[in-house]
Amino acid sequence: MAVTKHHVMIKGVKDGLVFLLDDNCSFEEVIQELHHKLEKTHQKILTGPIIHVHVKVGTRMITNQQKEEIRSIIGQKGNLLIQSIESQTVAPSEIPSNTNDVKLIKGIVRSGQTFVNEGNILFLGDVNPGGELISSGSIYIMGSLRGMAHAGVNGDHKAIIAASHLRPTQLRIASIISRPPDEWGMSEAFMEFAYVKDGKMEIDKIHHLNKLDIEQ
């Protein structure tokens, strides 16, 4: 007989309750189980005095909209007062790096998720459609960029965006926004990078990156 995996665990602690939400399933599955437990199996905690609640979402990157959905479900029970909704570590997670100016990051940026970082990053993973990767420096992606990437967010026009597979919904470098991918004039999407030249965003093959360094 298969054992059903619980996506929502509720634990009692000294100052109230901790809701542990599984980060290895879809957000919709978490919400369904949260509804079920509050309506069906854990009614006893919904009566009596005010109970402080801390929600932990593991390494899931959670949007403000998803936080509000959690708040609305738990908060509609009059005696449950949410104190915090927090991640253990914000995924994607950092990998120790021997270089001082490039930070290594691994993970997946899924639809509806935004990952913000300071400085230059080497991202090991994919950025899915609807996901956003934002950095004050350059962005190098060892994977597919099919969402939105914004490099040089604080105004650095020399930042670049490079990816193993470059088919984003949108690219931004500083205040410059890219044209749609079908207007790039390139038939392939592999090993390319975007940069700003004369106030416009250009796309080129990564093996031409050394020429850009000389020009800049």
Provide CB contacts within 8 A for 123, sequence distance 6+: 92, 105, 106, 107, 133, 139, 140, 141, 142, 143
Would you say 38 and 77 are in contact if contact means Cβ atoms under 8 Å apart? yes
Would you say 167 and 189 are in contact if contact means Cβ atoms under 8 Å apart? yes
Domain that includes residue 195, residue range? 93-215
Does the residue 3 lie in any domain?
Answer: no
Please say which residue of 34, 67, 86 terminates a domain. 86
Q: Output 163 or 210, whichever has higher pLDDT.
A: 163
Tokens of residue 197, six digits: 């030249």
Please say which residue of 86, 113, 143 terminates a domain. 86
pLDDT in tens, 101-154: 788 888 899 988 889 888 899 999 999 999 999 999 999 999 999 999 999 999
Would you say 52 and 74 are in contact if contact means Cβ atoms under 8 Å apart? no
Q: Cα separations (Å) of 143 from 68, 99, 108? A: 31, 21, 10
CA separation for the pair 34, 49 (Å, rounded): 21
The residue count of the chain comes to 216
Domain count, the chain: 2
> What pLDDT score was predicted for residue 188?
61
CATH number at residue 189: 2.160.20.70
Q: Is the pLDDT of residue 176 over 80?
A: yes
Burial bucket for residue 69 (CB in 10 Å: 0-12, 13-18, 19+) = middle
Q: Are residues 106 and 196 in the same domain?
A: yes
CA pseudo-torsion sign 20, 23, 28, 33? negative
70-90: average pLDDT = 78
Residue given tokens 């350059």 in the structure block: 138
